[in-house]
């Protein structure tokens, strides 16, 4: 079966590379190199291209998303992996420890529906919907409830009425239950980084050796690009590494132009590099406490909003994207390499080195 699986991947990889190269307008030499990277590493075309374009070593993606999910899910406590995969259970755990999480306004059961006339939906305000289980912003919706019984979805200029809202929410609830939360504002010091969109997200990557205390491995700030879908890995977001000692933002990277380094936002010329994140050290202290609640996990990527009231923890991911986990290494800002730590956990789990 192994040779057959490898043959099947070879065929699938070449088909995907050809389609991806056509969409991205890659030259023949680039396409050939990308095909070799995908065949040898098992990476999808988009992640293989970004890794080679952004990281200097190794040239080929060492741990693509599928492999990372398989490996990381087997390291540490299965119960703690399951707990953080459940966003409702995670919020309850964090809130019980006195850590700030988004306000929960309602839940929509899997396969369920909503009544747009109830106060949650009809009251003018800003909502955020996300699946109870999931990652990478799949299935999320930012909803603005406006006067007159209409709603705006994900900042779109077109407004929807009650029946369309109901249909959209029902569609999102087909495969998972939904959490309906109040949408968070960003701190005043970061307000100029948004363009009527979601607040910038601070990601704190926390790691630990087996049986030892957790520590901050790296940090980055993610800013949505106006006019682009936020889930588009190449075009959707600009990402800037954070100096873990000072909390200062460094030059950003937009995967659409991976060789460029942005000291200012390319769409507005607003300064980015050099600003100090408000509440950064408080956020680090919060996730260190959160890591004490899950003491048997090697690596957790915590997402937070730096709100006017202080940092708020959105969620923790135990099998995050390897590109974003190691993103700060591009600027030499990760505290330690992760590979030796994962090897320790793999040996402990009997997975081998």
**Residue 67, in any domain of the structure:** no
Other CB atoms within a 10 A radius of the CB of residue 227 amount to 10
Return the CATH number at 83.
3.30.470.20
Helices (H), the chain: 2-24, 28-41, 45-54, 65-73, 78-85, 87-96, 119-122, 162-172, 280-293, 322-325, 339-349
Q: Which pair of tokens denotes residue 90?
A: 């995670």
In a shared domain, residues 95 and 45 = no
What integer best gives the mean pLDDT of the chain? 90
Other CB atoms within a 10 A radius of the CB of residue 292 amount to 11
**Residue 124, in any domain of the structure:** yes
Residue ending a domain, choose from 127, 160, 182: 182
In a shared domain, residues 311 and 335 = yes
Residue ending a domain, choose from 127, 156, 182: 182
Cα gap 128→140, rounded to integer Å: 7
Mean pLDDT of 264-285: 95
In a shared domain, residues 142 and 83 = no
In a shared domain, residues 198 and 176 = no
In a shared domain, residues 259 and 136 = no
In a shared domain, residues 46 and 82 = no
The DSSP call for residue 249 is B
Q: Which pair of tokens denotes residue 284?
A: 């680090």
Q: What pLDDT does 4 receive? A: 80
**Residue 16, in any domain of the structure:** yes
Mean pLDDT of 93-122: 92
In a shared domain, residues 331 and 195 = yes
In a shared domain, residues 44 and 169 = no
In a shared domain, residues 240 and 290 = yes
**Residue 149, in any domain of the structure:** yes
Q: Is the pLDDT of residue 352 over 60?
A: no
Cα gap 69→84, rounded to integer Å: 14
Bridge partners, 141 (sequence order):
129
Q: Is the pLDDT of residue 157 over 90?
A: no
Highest mean pLDDT, choosing among 71-80, 128-137, 227-236: 71-80
Cα gap 29→304, rounded to integer Å: 40
Residue ending a domain, choose from 160, 182, 204: 182
More confident residue, 350 or 55: 55
**Residue 68, in any domain of the structure:** no
In a shared domain, residues 238 and 280 = yes
Q: What pLDDT does 329 receive? A: 86
Residue range(s) defining the domain that contains residue 281: 73-101+186-349
Mean pLDDT of 122-151: 84
What is the tally of structural domains in the chain? 3
The sign of the torsion formed by the CA atoms of 318, 323, 326, 327 equals negative
In a shared domain, residues 240 and 341 = yes
State the pLDDT confidence band at 348, using cuts at 50, 70 and 90: confident
State the pLDDT confidence band at 350, using cuts at 50, 70 and 90: confident
More confident residue, 142 or 271: 271
Give 2-13 pLDDT, tens digit per residue: 778 778 878 888
User: Global pTM?
Assistant: 0.92
- Count the alpha carbons within 13 Å of 230 in the hemisphere toward its beta carbon: 20
Q: Is the pLDDT of residue 212 over 90?
A: yes
Q: What pLDDT does 196 receive? A: 58
Q: Is the pLDDT of residue 192 over 60?
A: yes
Q: What pLDDT does 136 receive? A: 67
Give 228-265 pLDDT, tens digit per residue: 888 889 999 999 999 999 999 999 999 999 989 999 99
């Amino acid at each position: 079966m192994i040779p057959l699986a490898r043959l099947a991947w070879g065929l699938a990889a070449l088909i995907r590379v050809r389609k991806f190269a056509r969409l991205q307008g890659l030259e023949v030499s680039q396409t050939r190199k990308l095909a070799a990277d995908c065949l040898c590493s098992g990476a999808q075309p988009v992640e293989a291209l970004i890794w080679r374009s952004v990281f200097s070593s190794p040239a080929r993606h060492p741990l693509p998303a599928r492999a990372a999910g398989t490996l990381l899910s087997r390291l540490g406590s299965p119960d703690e992996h399951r707990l953080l995969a459940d966003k409702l259970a995670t919020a309850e755990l964090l809130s019980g420890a006195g850590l700030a999480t988004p306000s929960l306004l309602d839940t929509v059961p899997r396969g369920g529906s909503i009544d747009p006339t109830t106060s949650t939906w009809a009251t003018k305000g800003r909502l955020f919907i996300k699946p109870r289980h999931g990652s990478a912003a799949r299935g999320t919706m930012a909803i603005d409830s406006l006067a007159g019984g209409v709603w705006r979805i994900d900042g779109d200029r077109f407004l929807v009425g009650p029946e369309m809202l109901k249909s959209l929410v029902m569609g999102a609830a087909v495969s998972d239950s939904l959490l309906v939360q109040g949408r968070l504002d960003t701190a005043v010091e970061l307000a100029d980084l948004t363009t009527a969109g979601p607040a910038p997200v601070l990601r704190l990557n926390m790691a630990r050796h087996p049986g030892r205390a957790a520590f901050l491995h790296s940090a980055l700030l993610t800013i949505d690009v106006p006019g682009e879908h936020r889930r588009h890995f190449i075009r959707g977001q600009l990402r800037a590494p954070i100096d873990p000692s000072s909390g200062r933002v460094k030059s950003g990277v937009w995967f659409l132009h991976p060789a460029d380094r942005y000291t200012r936002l390319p769409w507005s010329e607003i300064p980015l590099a050099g600003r100090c994140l408000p509440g950064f050290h408080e956020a680090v202290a919060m996730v260190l406490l959160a890591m004490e609640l899950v003491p048997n996990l090697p690596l957790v990527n915590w997402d937070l909003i730096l709100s006017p009231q202080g940092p708020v923890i959105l969620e923790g991911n135990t099998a995050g994207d390897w590109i974003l986990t190691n993103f700060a290494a591009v600027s030499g800002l990760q505290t330690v390499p992760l590979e030796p730590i994962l090897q320790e956990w793999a040996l402990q789990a009997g997975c081998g080195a």
